[in-house]
Chains A and B, each alone.
Chain A
Amino acid sequence: MNRREFFIQTGKILAGGTLLWLVGFKPNLMDSTGSPTNAAENVPAYDWEKYLYAFVVDTTKCIGCGKCVAACKSENNVPNGQYRTWVERYIITNEHKVLVDSPEGGINSFKNNSPSLSKGEGFSEEIVKAFFVPKLCNHCSKPVCVQVCPVGATYRTKDGVVLIDAKHCVGCGYCVQSCPYGARYINIRTHTADKCSWCYHRITKGLLPACVQACPRGARLFGNLKDPESEIKQIIDKERVGVLKQAEGTEPNVYYLGFDKEII
Protein backbone atom coordinates (compact mmCIF):
# COMPACT_ATOMS: atom_id res chain seq x y z
CA MET A 1 0.00 0.00 0.00
CA ASN A 2 1.44 3.31 -1.00
CA ARG A 3 0.71 6.61 0.63
CA ARG A 4 -2.03 7.52 -1.84
CA GLU A 5 -3.92 4.27 -1.24
CA PHE A 6 -3.54 4.65 2.51
CA PHE A 7 -5.20 8.07 2.48
CA ILE A 8 -8.02 6.87 0.24
CA GLN A 9 -8.70 3.83 2.46
CA THR A 10 -8.59 5.92 5.64
CA GLY A 11 -11.06 8.38 4.14
CA LYS A 12 -13.45 5.60 3.18
CA ILE A 13 -13.32 4.02 6.64
CA LEU A 14 -13.94 7.34 8.35
CA ALA A 15 -16.83 8.23 6.05
CA GLY A 16 -18.41 4.79 6.52
CA GLY A 17 -17.95 4.99 10.29
CA THR A 18 -19.60 8.38 10.40
CA LEU A 19 -22.58 7.17 8.40
CA LEU A 20 -23.04 4.15 10.68
CA TRP A 21 -22.69 6.36 13.75
CA LEU A 22 -25.26 8.86 12.55
CA VAL A 23 -27.78 6.16 11.58
CA GLY A 24 -27.31 4.02 14.69
CA PHE A 25 -27.04 6.69 17.34
CA LYS A 26 -29.78 9.20 17.96
CA PRO A 27 -29.10 11.61 20.81
CA ASN A 28 -32.23 11.81 22.97
CA LEU A 29 -33.42 15.10 21.51
CA MET A 30 -36.82 13.63 20.77
CA ASP A 31 -38.13 12.66 24.19
CA SER A 32 -38.20 16.18 25.58
CA THR A 33 -41.79 15.99 26.77
CA GLY A 34 -42.78 15.77 30.42
CA SER A 35 -41.20 17.23 33.49
CA PRO A 36 -37.72 16.12 34.54
CA THR A 37 -38.57 16.02 38.21
CA ASN A 38 -41.44 13.53 38.19
CA ALA A 39 -39.30 10.60 39.17
CA ALA A 40 -38.55 11.85 42.68
CA GLU A 41 -39.92 9.51 45.34
CA ASN A 42 -42.51 10.38 47.98
CA VAL A 43 -43.24 13.63 46.24
CA PRO A 44 -46.40 14.55 44.37
CA ALA A 45 -45.84 14.71 40.63
CA TYR A 46 -44.44 18.06 39.60
CA ASP A 47 -45.20 19.52 36.19
CA TRP A 48 -42.97 22.48 35.44
CA GLU A 49 -45.27 23.69 32.68
CA LYS A 50 -47.82 24.75 35.31
CA TYR A 51 -45.48 27.12 37.15
CA LEU A 52 -43.74 30.40 36.54
CA TYR A 53 -42.19 31.69 39.72
CA ALA A 54 -41.67 35.21 40.99
CA PHE A 55 -40.40 36.74 44.23
CA VAL A 56 -41.55 39.87 46.06
CA VAL A 57 -39.46 41.65 48.71
CA ASP A 58 -41.36 44.09 50.94
CA THR A 59 -38.65 46.50 52.09
CA THR A 60 -41.13 48.33 54.31
CA LYS A 61 -41.46 45.20 56.46
CA CYS A 62 -37.85 43.99 56.64
CA ILE A 63 -36.33 44.39 60.11
CA GLY A 64 -32.81 43.30 59.14
CA CYS A 65 -32.68 40.37 61.58
CA GLY A 66 -30.72 38.22 59.12
CA LYS A 67 -32.77 35.07 59.73
CA CYS A 68 -33.16 34.63 55.97
CA VAL A 69 -29.40 34.72 55.45
CA ALA A 70 -28.89 32.13 58.20
CA ALA A 71 -31.67 29.87 56.87
CA CYS A 72 -30.25 30.03 53.35
CA LYS A 73 -26.81 29.13 54.64
CA SER A 74 -28.00 26.00 56.43
CA GLU A 75 -30.43 24.88 53.73
CA ASN A 76 -27.91 25.21 50.91
CA ASN A 77 -24.55 24.57 52.64
CA VAL A 78 -23.32 28.02 51.68
CA PRO A 79 -19.67 28.46 52.80
CA ASN A 80 -18.86 31.12 55.39
CA GLY A 81 -18.20 34.50 53.86
CA GLN A 82 -20.25 33.72 50.76
CA TYR A 83 -23.93 34.51 50.34
CA ARG A 84 -26.79 33.38 48.16
CA THR A 85 -28.92 36.04 49.81
CA TRP A 86 -27.87 38.97 51.98
CA VAL A 87 -29.40 42.05 53.56
CA GLU A 88 -28.16 45.59 52.93
CA ARG A 89 -28.96 48.63 55.04
CA TYR A 90 -29.36 52.00 53.37
CA ILE A 91 -28.93 55.10 55.52
CA ILE A 92 -29.72 58.45 53.94
CA THR A 93 -28.67 61.68 55.67
CA ASN A 94 -30.00 65.22 55.53
CA GLU A 95 -27.05 66.23 53.34
CA HIS A 96 -28.05 63.44 51.01
CA LYS A 97 -25.20 61.11 51.77
CA VAL A 98 -26.14 57.50 51.13
CA LEU A 99 -24.42 54.95 53.35
CA VAL A 100 -24.81 51.23 52.72
CA ASP A 101 -23.61 48.47 55.03
CA SER A 102 -24.06 44.73 55.17
CA PRO A 103 -21.85 43.25 57.91
CA GLU A 104 -21.38 39.54 57.10
CA GLY A 105 -24.36 39.76 54.78
CA GLY A 106 -26.47 40.85 57.75
CA ILE A 107 -26.49 37.28 59.12
CA ASN A 108 -26.11 38.46 62.74
CA SER A 109 -28.29 41.52 62.27
CA PHE A 110 -26.85 45.05 62.33
CA LYS A 111 -25.15 47.39 64.78
CA ASN A 112 -26.95 50.55 65.72
CA ASN A 113 -25.14 52.73 63.24
CA SER A 114 -23.10 51.86 60.22
CA PRO A 115 -19.31 51.95 60.80
CA SER A 116 -18.90 54.72 58.25
CA LEU A 117 -21.42 56.84 60.11
CA SER A 118 -19.82 56.56 63.53
CA LYS A 119 -16.21 56.84 62.36
CA GLY A 120 -16.70 59.85 60.11
CA GLU A 121 -14.76 62.81 61.50
CA GLY A 122 -16.82 65.84 62.37
CA PHE A 123 -19.89 64.03 61.20
CA SER A 124 -22.83 66.23 61.96
CA GLU A 125 -25.45 64.94 59.59
CA GLU A 126 -28.80 63.68 60.63
CA ILE A 127 -30.27 60.43 59.46
CA VAL A 128 -33.48 61.17 57.60
CA LYS A 129 -34.24 57.78 56.18
CA ALA A 130 -33.02 54.25 56.79
CA PHE A 131 -34.25 50.89 55.60
CA PHE A 132 -33.19 47.33 54.85
CA VAL A 133 -33.02 45.78 51.40
CA PRO A 134 -32.70 42.00 51.12
CA LYS A 135 -30.94 40.91 47.94
CA LEU A 136 -30.77 37.63 46.06
CA CYS A 137 -30.52 36.30 42.52
CA ASN A 138 -33.15 38.03 40.38
CA HIS A 139 -33.79 34.97 38.18
CA CYS A 140 -33.98 37.28 35.18
CA SER A 141 -36.14 36.48 32.18
CA LYS A 142 -33.17 37.50 30.03
CA PRO A 143 -30.27 36.25 32.14
CA VAL A 144 -26.84 37.57 31.15
CA CYS A 145 -25.13 34.78 33.06
CA VAL A 146 -26.78 32.11 30.91
CA GLN A 147 -25.71 33.86 27.75
CA VAL A 148 -22.03 34.08 28.70
CA CYS A 149 -21.60 30.51 30.00
CA PRO A 150 -19.26 28.80 27.52
CA VAL A 151 -20.26 25.24 28.43
CA GLY A 152 -24.03 25.45 28.99
CA ALA A 153 -23.74 24.86 32.72
CA THR A 154 -26.29 27.49 33.67
CA TYR A 155 -29.79 27.78 32.29
CA ARG A 156 -33.31 29.02 32.89
CA THR A 157 -35.87 26.29 33.53
CA LYS A 158 -39.38 26.29 32.09
CA ASP A 159 -40.78 27.34 35.47
CA GLY A 160 -38.58 30.44 35.43
CA VAL A 161 -35.67 29.54 37.72
CA VAL A 162 -32.05 30.16 36.73
CA LEU A 163 -30.03 27.14 37.87
CA ILE A 164 -26.40 26.01 37.85
CA ASP A 165 -25.30 22.54 36.79
CA ALA A 166 -22.40 22.27 39.24
CA LYS A 167 -21.31 18.96 37.72
CA HIS A 168 -20.86 20.54 34.31
CA CYS A 169 -19.52 23.95 35.41
CA VAL A 170 -15.81 24.52 34.73
CA GLY A 171 -15.52 27.43 37.17
CA CYS A 172 -14.33 30.00 34.65
CA GLY A 173 -16.18 32.77 36.46
CA TYR A 174 -17.59 34.57 33.40
CA CYS A 175 -21.09 34.43 34.87
CA VAL A 176 -19.85 35.86 38.17
CA GLN A 177 -18.46 38.87 36.31
CA SER A 178 -21.46 39.28 34.03
CA CYS A 179 -24.16 39.39 36.72
CA PRO A 180 -25.21 43.04 37.22
CA TYR A 181 -26.50 42.18 40.70
CA GLY A 182 -23.41 40.46 42.10
CA ALA A 183 -25.56 37.47 42.93
CA ARG A 184 -23.02 34.84 41.90
CA TYR A 185 -19.77 33.65 43.45
CA ILE A 186 -17.30 30.83 42.94
CA ASN A 187 -17.99 28.39 45.77
CA ILE A 188 -14.75 28.00 47.73
CA ARG A 189 -15.51 24.33 48.40
CA THR A 190 -16.57 23.12 44.95
CA HIS A 191 -14.72 25.72 42.83
CA THR A 192 -17.81 26.03 40.65
CA ALA A 193 -20.25 28.92 40.24
CA ASP A 194 -22.98 29.11 42.86
CA LYS A 195 -25.97 31.31 43.64
CA CYS A 196 -29.57 31.36 44.85
CA SER A 197 -31.73 28.67 43.24
CA TRP A 198 -34.98 29.83 44.88
CA CYS A 199 -34.46 26.53 46.72
CA TYR A 200 -35.44 24.56 43.62
CA HIS A 201 -35.23 21.33 45.64
CA ARG A 202 -37.91 22.71 47.97
CA ILE A 203 -40.28 24.43 45.56
CA THR A 204 -40.54 21.35 43.33
CA LYS A 205 -41.69 19.50 46.46
CA GLY A 206 -44.38 22.11 47.16
CA LEU A 207 -42.42 23.90 49.91
CA LEU A 208 -41.38 27.55 50.13
CA PRO A 209 -37.76 28.69 49.73
CA ALA A 210 -35.93 28.54 53.09
CA CYS A 211 -35.56 32.34 53.36
CA VAL A 212 -39.28 32.91 52.74
CA GLN A 213 -40.20 30.38 55.40
CA ALA A 214 -37.71 31.80 57.87
CA CYS A 215 -38.71 35.46 57.53
CA PRO A 216 -40.53 36.45 60.76
CA ARG A 217 -42.13 39.51 59.13
CA GLY A 218 -43.43 38.13 55.87
CA ALA A 219 -41.14 40.52 54.03
CA ARG A 220 -40.30 37.85 51.48
CA LEU A 221 -43.05 36.40 49.30
CA PHE A 222 -42.78 33.68 46.71
CA GLY A 223 -45.35 32.22 44.36
CA ASN A 224 -46.61 31.12 40.99
CA LEU A 225 -47.47 33.73 38.36
CA LYS A 226 -49.48 31.19 36.38
CA ASP A 227 -51.96 30.98 39.28
CA PRO A 228 -54.18 34.09 38.96
CA GLU A 229 -55.28 33.77 42.60
CA SER A 230 -51.77 33.73 44.05
CA GLU A 231 -50.76 36.54 46.38
CA ILE A 232 -47.66 37.23 44.34
CA LYS A 233 -49.62 37.70 41.12
CA GLN A 234 -52.02 40.08 42.87
CA ILE A 235 -49.18 42.18 44.29
CA ILE A 236 -47.22 42.42 41.03
CA ASP A 237 -50.37 43.28 39.07
CA LYS A 238 -51.93 45.77 41.48
CA GLU A 239 -49.21 47.26 43.69
CA ARG A 240 -46.44 49.68 42.74
CA VAL A 241 -43.37 47.53 42.54
CA GLY A 242 -39.84 48.18 41.32
CA VAL A 243 -37.00 46.01 40.10
CA LEU A 244 -33.24 46.43 40.46
CA LYS A 245 -31.29 47.96 37.56
CA GLN A 246 -34.15 47.98 35.10
CA ALA A 247 -31.95 49.68 32.50
CA GLU A 248 -29.82 46.54 32.22
CA GLY A 249 -32.67 44.94 30.29
CA THR A 250 -32.38 41.67 32.19
CA GLU A 251 -36.06 41.64 33.18
CA PRO A 252 -35.64 40.56 36.81
CA ASN A 253 -38.27 38.44 38.55
CA VAL A 254 -37.58 39.73 42.05
CA TYR A 255 -39.89 42.68 42.68
CA TYR A 256 -39.45 45.25 45.44
CA LEU A 257 -42.27 46.90 47.36
CA GLY A 258 -41.31 50.24 48.90
CA PHE A 259 -38.63 50.76 46.28
CA ASP A 260 -36.40 53.81 46.75
CA LYS A 261 -34.44 55.69 44.11
CA GLU A 262 -31.24 55.14 46.10
CA ILE A 263 -31.48 51.36 45.92
CA ILE A 264 -28.95 49.88 43.48
Chain B
Amino acid sequence: MQDIKHIIRCIILLIILFIVLIIGKTFLTPKSFGQYGNYRGDSVKRISEIPVKFKGSDSCSSAECHKDNYKTWQEGIHSVVNCETCHGPGNAHTQNPENVDMVIPEEPCLVCHQKITGRPGDFPQVEPKSHYGDKNKSCVECHNAHSPIIENEKGSQSK
Protein backbone atom coordinates (compact mmCIF):
# COMPACT_ATOMS: atom_id res chain seq x y z
CA MET B 1 0.00 0.00 0.00
CA GLN B 2 2.80 2.35 1.00
CA ASP B 3 4.48 1.82 -2.41
CA ILE B 4 1.42 2.86 -4.41
CA LYS B 5 1.21 6.11 -2.45
CA HIS B 6 4.76 6.97 -3.46
CA ILE B 7 4.03 6.28 -7.11
CA ILE B 8 0.89 8.42 -7.04
CA ARG B 9 2.87 11.30 -5.48
CA CYS B 10 5.43 11.01 -8.24
CA ILE B 11 2.78 11.06 -10.93
CA ILE B 12 1.12 14.13 -9.42
CA LEU B 13 4.46 15.93 -9.29
CA LEU B 14 5.12 15.05 -12.93
CA ILE B 15 1.71 16.36 -13.97
CA ILE B 16 2.37 19.63 -12.12
CA LEU B 17 5.76 19.94 -13.76
CA PHE B 18 4.19 19.36 -17.18
CA ILE B 19 1.57 22.05 -16.55
CA VAL B 20 4.25 24.51 -15.42
CA LEU B 21 6.23 23.76 -18.58
CA ILE B 22 3.24 24.39 -20.83
CA ILE B 23 2.43 27.66 -19.09
CA GLY B 24 6.09 28.68 -19.27
CA LYS B 25 6.17 27.90 -22.98
CA THR B 26 3.15 30.07 -23.79
CA PHE B 27 4.85 32.94 -21.96
CA LEU B 28 8.20 32.49 -23.69
CA THR B 29 7.03 31.81 -27.26
CA PRO B 30 6.85 35.02 -29.36
CA LYS B 31 3.29 36.08 -30.11
CA SER B 32 3.31 35.63 -33.88
CA PHE B 33 5.13 32.29 -33.74
CA GLY B 34 3.15 29.69 -35.66
CA GLN B 35 1.07 32.25 -37.56
CA TYR B 36 2.15 30.83 -40.95
CA GLY B 37 4.37 27.93 -39.91
CA ASN B 38 7.10 27.06 -37.46
CA TYR B 39 8.48 30.62 -37.32
CA ARG B 40 7.63 34.18 -36.23
CA GLY B 41 5.07 35.57 -38.69
CA ASP B 42 6.20 39.11 -37.80
CA SER B 43 9.66 38.49 -39.19
CA VAL B 44 8.35 38.24 -42.77
CA LYS B 45 6.91 41.72 -42.45
CA ARG B 46 10.05 43.03 -40.78
CA ILE B 47 12.28 41.71 -43.57
CA SER B 48 10.06 43.01 -46.37
CA GLU B 49 10.05 46.49 -44.82
CA ILE B 50 13.83 46.94 -44.99
CA PRO B 51 14.46 50.05 -47.14
CA VAL B 52 16.04 49.52 -50.59
CA LYS B 53 19.35 51.09 -51.66
CA PHE B 54 19.39 50.49 -55.40
CA LYS B 55 16.73 52.54 -57.12
CA GLY B 56 17.03 51.53 -60.79
CA SER B 57 18.02 53.47 -63.90
CA ASP B 58 14.54 54.90 -64.45
CA SER B 59 15.00 57.31 -61.60
CA CYS B 60 17.86 58.97 -63.53
CA SER B 61 15.61 59.66 -66.53
CA SER B 62 13.08 61.72 -64.65
CA ALA B 63 15.71 64.07 -63.28
CA GLU B 64 16.74 67.03 -65.42
CA CYS B 65 20.21 66.76 -63.91
CA HIS B 66 21.50 63.85 -66.01
CA LYS B 67 19.41 64.36 -69.15
CA ASP B 68 22.33 64.36 -71.63
CA ASN B 69 24.22 61.44 -70.15
CA TYR B 70 21.00 59.47 -69.81
CA LYS B 71 20.18 60.00 -73.50
CA THR B 72 23.68 59.00 -74.63
CA TRP B 73 23.56 55.92 -72.44
CA GLN B 74 20.09 54.90 -73.54
CA GLU B 75 20.91 55.10 -77.26
CA GLY B 76 24.24 53.31 -76.97
CA ILE B 77 25.36 49.72 -76.58
CA HIS B 78 25.81 50.19 -72.82
CA SER B 79 22.06 50.59 -72.29
CA VAL B 80 22.08 46.97 -71.07
CA VAL B 81 24.19 48.09 -68.10
CA ASN B 82 22.26 49.83 -65.34
CA CYS B 83 23.45 53.24 -64.08
CA GLU B 84 24.01 51.88 -60.58
CA THR B 85 26.21 49.01 -61.77
CA CYS B 86 29.07 51.50 -62.19
CA HIS B 87 27.84 54.45 -60.12
CA GLY B 88 26.79 52.58 -56.97
CA PRO B 89 23.48 52.54 -55.06
CA GLY B 90 21.41 55.64 -55.79
CA ASN B 91 18.32 55.70 -53.59
CA ALA B 92 19.88 58.07 -51.05
CA HIS B 93 21.08 60.31 -53.91
CA THR B 94 17.61 60.58 -55.45
CA GLN B 95 16.22 61.70 -52.10
CA ASN B 96 19.02 64.11 -51.33
CA PRO B 97 20.96 64.83 -54.54
CA GLU B 98 23.06 67.66 -53.13
CA ASN B 99 24.48 65.87 -50.12
CA VAL B 100 24.81 62.29 -51.31
CA ASP B 101 27.22 61.76 -54.18
CA MET B 102 27.29 58.86 -56.59
CA VAL B 103 30.47 56.93 -57.36
CA ILE B 104 32.44 58.21 -60.36
CA PRO B 105 34.79 55.28 -61.07
CA GLU B 106 38.32 56.22 -62.17
CA GLU B 107 38.93 53.06 -64.20
CA PRO B 108 35.44 51.98 -65.12
CA CYS B 109 36.19 49.90 -68.21
CA LEU B 110 38.77 47.23 -67.45
CA VAL B 111 36.87 45.57 -64.63
CA CYS B 112 34.65 44.12 -67.37
CA HIS B 113 36.71 44.51 -70.55
CA GLN B 114 40.21 43.41 -69.48
CA LYS B 115 41.08 40.18 -71.27
CA ILE B 116 41.27 37.46 -68.61
CA THR B 117 41.02 33.69 -68.53
CA GLY B 118 37.42 32.62 -68.29
CA ARG B 119 35.63 35.46 -70.03
CA PRO B 120 33.35 34.26 -72.84
CA GLY B 121 34.86 34.75 -76.31
CA ASP B 122 31.91 36.71 -77.69
CA PHE B 123 32.40 39.46 -75.11
CA PRO B 124 34.56 42.42 -76.21
CA GLN B 125 37.85 42.31 -74.29
CA VAL B 126 41.13 44.16 -74.65
CA GLU B 127 44.71 43.70 -73.57
CA PRO B 128 45.41 47.39 -72.77
CA LYS B 129 49.07 47.27 -73.92
CA SER B 130 48.31 45.91 -77.36
CA HIS B 131 45.11 47.96 -77.64
CA TYR B 132 46.77 51.37 -77.38
CA GLY B 133 50.48 50.66 -77.23
CA ASP B 134 52.74 51.63 -74.36
CA LYS B 135 51.22 55.07 -74.06
CA ASN B 136 49.74 55.65 -70.63
CA LYS B 137 46.32 56.36 -71.94
CA SER B 138 42.95 56.19 -70.27
CA CYS B 139 40.09 54.45 -72.09
CA VAL B 140 37.84 57.47 -71.77
CA GLU B 141 40.24 59.61 -73.80
CA CYS B 142 38.83 57.90 -76.89
CA HIS B 143 35.67 56.16 -75.72
CA ASN B 144 32.60 57.60 -74.09
CA ALA B 145 31.91 55.29 -71.16
CA HIS B 146 28.17 55.80 -71.59
CA SER B 147 28.24 54.79 -75.26
CA PRO B 148 31.66 53.33 -76.04
CA ILE B 149 31.39 52.47 -79.74
CA ILE B 150 33.45 54.90 -81.83
CA GLU B 151 32.06 55.76 -85.25
CA ASN B 152 34.99 56.70 -87.47
CA GLU B 153 34.96 58.83 -90.58
CA LYS B 154 34.24 56.00 -92.98
CA GLY B 155 31.03 55.30 -91.16
CA SER B 156 32.12 51.89 -89.95
CA GLN B 157 32.08 51.15 -86.28
CA SER B 158 34.93 50.13 -84.07
CA LYS B 159 34.60 48.93 -80.56
Stretch at the interface among A181-189, A211-219, A236-244, A247-255: A211-219
B132 beta carbon closer than 8 Å to chain A: no
A210 and chain B: residue at smallest CB distance: B54
Q: Is the CB of A113 within 8 A of B53?
A: no
Given A14-B16, A168-B30, answer yes or no on A216-B112 (Cβ-Cβ < 8 Å): yes
A153 to B88, CA, bound (A): 32
Interface residues of A (CB under 8 A from B): 7, 10-11, 14-15, 17-18, 21, 25, 27-29, 31-32, 36-37, 39-40, 46, 60-67, 71, 74-75, 89-91, 108-114, 127, 130-132, 152-155, 157-158, 163, 165, 167-168, 197, 199-202, 204-205, 207, 210, 213-218
Given A75-B52, A165-B43, A214-B54, answer yes or no on A11-B16 (Cβ-Cβ < 8 Å): yes
B152 beta carbon closer than 8 Å to chain A: no
Q: Which of A25, A27, A64, A218 contacts B118 (CB 8 A)?
A: A64
Q: Is the CB of A110 within 8 A of B118?
A: yes
Q: Is the CB of B52 within 8 A of A205?
A: yes
Given A18-B22, A168-B43, answer yes or no on A64-B36 (Cβ-Cβ < 8 Å): no
- The range of chain B's interface size is 35 or more
Q: Is the CB of B43 within 8 A of A167?
A: yes
Q: Is the CB of B43 within 8 A of A163?
A: yes
Residues of chain A contacted by B34 (CB below 8 angstroms): 27, 29
Residues of chain A contacted by B116 (CB below 8 angstroms): 64, 109-112
Interface residues of B (CB under 8 A from A): 12, 16, 19-20, 22-23, 26, 29-54, 56, 80-82, 84-85, 88-89, 111-112, 114-120, 123
Q: Is the CB of A63 within 8 A of B120?
A: yes
Closest 9 CB pairs of A and B: A165-B43, A201-B50, A155-B39, A130-B118, A216-B81, A204-B48, A37-B48, A36-B44, A65-B112
List the count of A-B residue pairs having beta carbons below 8 Å apart.
Answer: 162
Q: Which of A17, A62, A75 contacts B53 (CB 8 A)?
A: A75
- Interface of chain A, helix or strand or loop or mixed? loop
A169 and chain B: residue at smallest CB distance: B43
Q: Is the CB of B111 within 8 A of A28?
A: no
A110 to B42, CA, bound (A): 41
Q: Which of A18, A131, A201 contacts B48 (CB 8 A)?
A: A201
A154 to B40, CA, bound (A): 9
Residues of chain B contacted by A157 (CB below 8 angstroms): 36, 44
Q: Is the CB of A127 within 8 A of B20?
A: no
Q: Which of A21, A61, A127, A213 contacts B84 (CB 8 A)?
A: A213
